[in-house]
Amino acid sequence: MTASLSDSVSGSVSVSPSPWWRQAAVYQIYPRSFADSNGDGMGDLPGVTARMGYLSELGIDAIWLSPFYPSALADGGYDVDDYRNVDPRLGSLTDFDAMVAAAHAAGIRVIVDVVPNHSSNRHTWFKAALAAAPGSAERARYHFLDGLGNDGELPPSDWPSHFGGAAWTRVVEAAGPNAGSLGQWYLHLFATEQPDFNWDNPEVREDFHTTLRFWSDRGVDGFRIDVAHALVKDMSLPLRSKPDLEILVDDGSDPLFDRDAVHEVFEGWRSVLNEYDPPKAAVAEAWVPFTDRRLKYARPTELGQAFNFDLLQAPFLATEFRAIAQKCLSEAASSGASSTWVFSNHDVVRHPSRYGLPDGSTREDLEAWLLADGATPALDSARGLRRARAATLFMLGLPGSAYLYQGEELGLFEAAELPASVLQDPTWFRTLHKVKGRDGCRVPLPWSASEADFGFGGIPWLPQPEWFGEFAADAQAGVAGSTLEMYRAALKLRRELQAEESLEWLSSPESEVIHYRRPNGWEVITNFAAVPAVLPSGVDLSRVVLTSGTATEAADGAGSEQAGTIPPETTLWLAP
Ligand code: GLC
């Protein structure tokens, strides 16, 4: 692997050619919300199989499925009862095999989600732990501790749960000398229904190897690793105080996150993934600061990739986008990984909404906007979508893997108006209704503008707003300038554009226009400003093969490339 880079205007980054995943476009499916084949209102695996033609036409290289395992859905399926089965509401293992076969026949690879930090409280092991006495081998697969205070009535530490409330729940003992009384506490960094595994226990480690082999043997091509940075914890007593879950100093000393020993786990996983030919791909979800430590997860000796959420968290500003892209590319090159890009997923407000809210909106502002049912402040939806489309084309031209979230190809906004009565995200309940949570990006997809339930297949488990009809796939298919057609065109052209993993910056780091060139001559130019920008000199507009300008804008002239200028908040792709 060779890499060279520089931060100068003409700096370049290059890495030698690669396995399939290094520059893949990966489409995330949230199975319950994708397509429903049996009319029960919940998306399922046969629904995915039935839509393989759509996915193929979209032009993606792989699908990543969020959990479809048996689950009480206390956290949308990230509370797993059985890692090696399919939730009967979503299908069966036979349906899974059929889906993989259909995907492979369409040239689409399949990535599944592994949730190793915690199981659900309905997992056989957790039920056995509750039935067993303190100190037993069954309890040692999780983190059970005596409480503090005179009578163990206080939790073992001040650690909070990610979803609000405490990270500890006290159990009534079923066995041992205190049977029938309140006893130990167990750790759950997420919901009460998600007890954390004890990764110091070899049985836990071995069981996840079995799970990786189980799905690999069924033909999956890769894995997305949930909360990868949290597995190994410092549980030495007394537990250290950590009243909030931010990592303040990311040097391996945090008791809960990004500890050095977690890398032994993933080295072990890499050995398992390399038992296959070709080796299975893996990507870490590790919300850690962007330092050399994040790159460790993505080393070839570990998972190969880690999500970079930096663009997702950045405001729509050229200077930010340029600096982040350069940093991600150069860091990836130095670690041998390929970079990843993400704007939306099932955990965040959809990016057309983020970009349509007033500039400078913080995470707290987004939460307040959701609580106001999306009514205040008013969303500038035209601007939000215009920027989202420009950002997407900026990103799809970069070297590395693009992770797309279902519905973004339709330009969907957050369904911020979901009424409280339908909310399901544990965040809403655990914060005592102070944070609305993530349901607004999980509303079942609109496939058809005219059919009942917009063609989803059954009365959706979360209600679709009226405006979803306008965004339905069949309302956009074949419509020039629609967001769906923009994604289709971009994903098709991207296969030509993605030759070597390198680029050359042609604009200066301070400019409001970012202009880069791939080694095979493709160029991408984004004007981040709210006003037209002068075209870089020497750029021949007859080479423009794709623009992010919307159909409406094109109709009234605002999106077309006026002589010598690039419209506001617009990306152009130029063929060699
Ligand atoms: C990850 C998932 C999120 C889930 C959490 C706990 O962050 O993306 O949806 O709630 O882990 O499993």
Residue 75 Cβ contacting ligand 1 at under 6 Å: yes
Mean pLDDT of all residues in the chain? 93
Distance of CA 37 to the CA centre of its chain: 25
Tell me the pLDDT tens digit for each residue of 369-392. 999 999 999 999 999 999 999 999
**Helix, strand, or coil (residue 88):** coil
Q: Are 119 and 125 in contact (CB under 8 A)?
A: yes
Q: Packing angle between helix 202-217 and helix 262-273, nearest 10 degrees?
A: 30
Q: Does residue 118 sit within a domain?
A: no
Residue located nearest, by CA, to atom 9 of ligand 1: 347
Confidence of residue 224 (pLDDT cuts 50, 70, 90): very high
Q: Which residue has the tokens 């330009």?
A: 411
pLDDT at position 563 is 63
Tell me the pLDDT tens digit for each residue of 394-438. 999 999 999 999 999 999 999 999 999 999 999 999 999 999 999
Q: Does residue 350 sit within a domain?
A: no
Output the six-digit token pair for 315. Answer: 């405001």
Q: Are 28 and 55 in contact (CB under 8 A)?
A: no
Return the best residue to mutate from 285, 347, 441 for the ligand 1 pocket (most ligand atoms within 8 A of CB): 347
> For ligand 1, what atom is nearest to the CA of residue 117?
12
With a cut of 80, say whether residue 561 has pLDDT above it.
no
Distance of CA 159 to the CA centre of its chain: 25
With a cut of 50, say whether residue 12 has pLDDT above it.
no
Q: Does residue 343 sit within a domain?
A: no
Q: Which of 153, 260, 264, 275 is catalytic?
A: 275
Residue 227 Cβ contacting ligand 1 at under 6 Å: yes
Q: What is the DSSP letter of 500?
A: S
Q: Does residue 128 sit within a domain?
A: yes
Percent of the chain, pLDDT > 90? 88
Is 496 a residue of the active site? no
Confidence of residue 538 (pLDDT cuts 50, 70, 90): confident
Compute the CA torsion angle 540, 542, 548, 552 (nearest 10 deg): 130
Query: How many angstroms is it from 66 CA to the middle of ligand 1?
Result: 10
Residue 226 Cβ contacting ligand 1 at under 6 Å: yes
> For ligand 1, what atom is nearest to the CA of residue 78?
12
Tell me the pLDDT tens digit for each residue of 78-130. 999 999 999 999 999 999 999 999 999 999 999 999 999 999 999 999 999 99
Phi-psi region of 255 (alpha: psi -120 to 50; beta: other; left: phi over 0): alpha
Residue 74 Cβ contacting ligand 1 at under 6 Å: no
Nearest to 510 by CA among 277, 317, 255: 317
Domain hosting 143: range is: 124-187
Q: Does residue 172 sit within a domain?
A: yes
Return the best residue to mutate from 73, 78, 285 for the ligand 1 pocket (most ligand atoms within 8 A of CB): 78
Into how many domains does the chain fold? 1
Confidence of residue 562 (pLDDT cuts 50, 70, 90): low
pLDDT at position 553 is 53
With a cut of 70, say whether residue 10 has pLDDT above it.
no
With a cut of 90, say whether residue 311 has pLDDT above it.
yes
Is 453 a residue of the active site? no
Angle formed at CA 156 by CA 155 and CA 157, multiple of 5 degrees: 90
Residue located nearest, by CA, to atom 6 of ligand 1: 78
Q: Which residue has the higher pLDDT, 257 or 541?
A: 257
Output the six-digit token pair for 375. Answer: 């009514």
CA distance 362 to 544: 35
Amino acid at 550: T
Nearest to 543 by CA among 503, 572, 563: 572
Output the six-digit token pair for 195. Answer: 């007890």
Q: Does residue 428 sit within a domain?
A: no
Tell me the pLDDT tens digit for each residue of 256-269. 999 999 999 999 99
Residue 173 Cβ contacting ligand 1 at under 6 Å: no
* DSSP states along 542-563: GGEEEE---HHHHHHTTTS--T
Distances in Å between the Cα of 206 and the Cα atoms of 114, 213, 344, 509 are: 14, 11, 33, 48
* Neighbouring C-beta atoms of residue 452, cutoff 10 Å: 10
> How many residues does the structure list for the chain?
576
Q: Which of 44, 75, 226, 414 is catalytic?
A: 226
Residue 95 Cβ contacting ligand 1 at under 6 Å: no
Confidence of residue 152 (pLDDT cuts 50, 70, 90): very high
Output the six-digit token pair for 15. Answer: 């890495």
Q: Does residue 389 sit within a domain?
A: no
Tell me the pLDDT tens digit for each residue of 432-457. 999 999 999 999 999 999 999 999 99
* DSSP states along 367-400: HHHHHTTT-SSPP-HHHHHHHHHHHHHHHHTSSS
- Measured over the CA atoms of residue 222, residue 227, residue 231 and residue 232, the dihedral's sign is positive
CA distance 128 to 154: 24
Q: What is the pTM of this model?
A: 0.95
Residue located nearest, by CA, to atom 7 of ligand 1: 227
Distances in Å between the Cα of 503 and the Cα atoms of 13, 390, 499, 523 are: 6, 19, 10, 9
Q: Does residue 538 sit within a domain?
A: no
Tell me the pLDDT tens digit for each residue of 328-366. 999 888 888 999 999 999 999 999 999 999 999 999 999
* Neighbouring C-beta atoms of residue 39, cutoff 10 Å: 11
> For ligand 1, what atom is nearest to the CA of residue 438?
9
Residue 78 Cβ contacting ligand 1 at under 6 Å: yes
CA distance 472 to 456: 10
Kindly report which listed range (427-431, 524-528, 554-558, 568-572) carries the lowest average pLDDT score: 554-558
Tell me the pLDDT tens digit for each residue of 19-28. 999 999 999 9
Q: Which residue has the tokens 């033609």?
A: 53
CATH of the domain at 182: 3.90.400
